[in-house]
């Protein structure tokens, strides 16, 4: 069914967003060299999910804001 396929796709995207968010956070905590690129990748996927209607725009804004705040503190 169409709804079932969309649900599974949305779950995959949400899972990927969580994974990328965690990877970016750990990169920031460890102060690794690629922390800015990890944050950029996570933000990019958040924006894509918003454009596809998978997550709400304000949820993405909140997550991006928190990541950027952590990144700014570590630089």
Q: What's the pLDDT score for residue 42?
A: 97
Question: Helix (H, G, I), strand (E, B), or coil: what is residue 10?
Answer: helix
Q: What's the pLDDT score for residue 37?
A: 95
Ordered by start, the domain boundaries in the chain are: 2-74
Residue by residue, DSSP assigns 19-62 as HHHHHHHHHHHHT-TTHHHHHHHHHHHHHHHHHTTSS-HHHHHH
Mean pLDDT by 10 residues, the chain (75 residues): 94 96 95 93 96 96 96 87
- Cβ(52)–Cβ(45) under 8 Å? no
Q: Quick one: 2-74 is in which CATH superfamily?
A: Ribosomal protein S20 (1.20.58.110)
Q: What's the pLDDT score for residue 75?
A: 72
Q: What's the pLDDT score for residue 74?
A: 82
Q: What's the pLDDT score for residue 6?
A: 93
* Cα(32)–Cα(30) distance, integer angstroms: 5
Q: What's the pLDDT score for residue 9?
A: 94
């Amino acid at each position: 069914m169409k709804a079932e396929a969309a649900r599974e796709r949305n779950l995959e995207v949400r899972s990927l967003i969580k994974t990328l968010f965690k990877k970016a956070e750990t990169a920031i905590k460890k102060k690794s060299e690629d922390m800015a690129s990890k944050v950029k990748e996570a933000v990019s996927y958040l924006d894509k999910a918003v454009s596809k209607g998978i997550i709400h725009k304000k949820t993405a804004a909140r997550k991006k804001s928190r990541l950027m705040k952590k990144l700014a503190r570590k630089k």
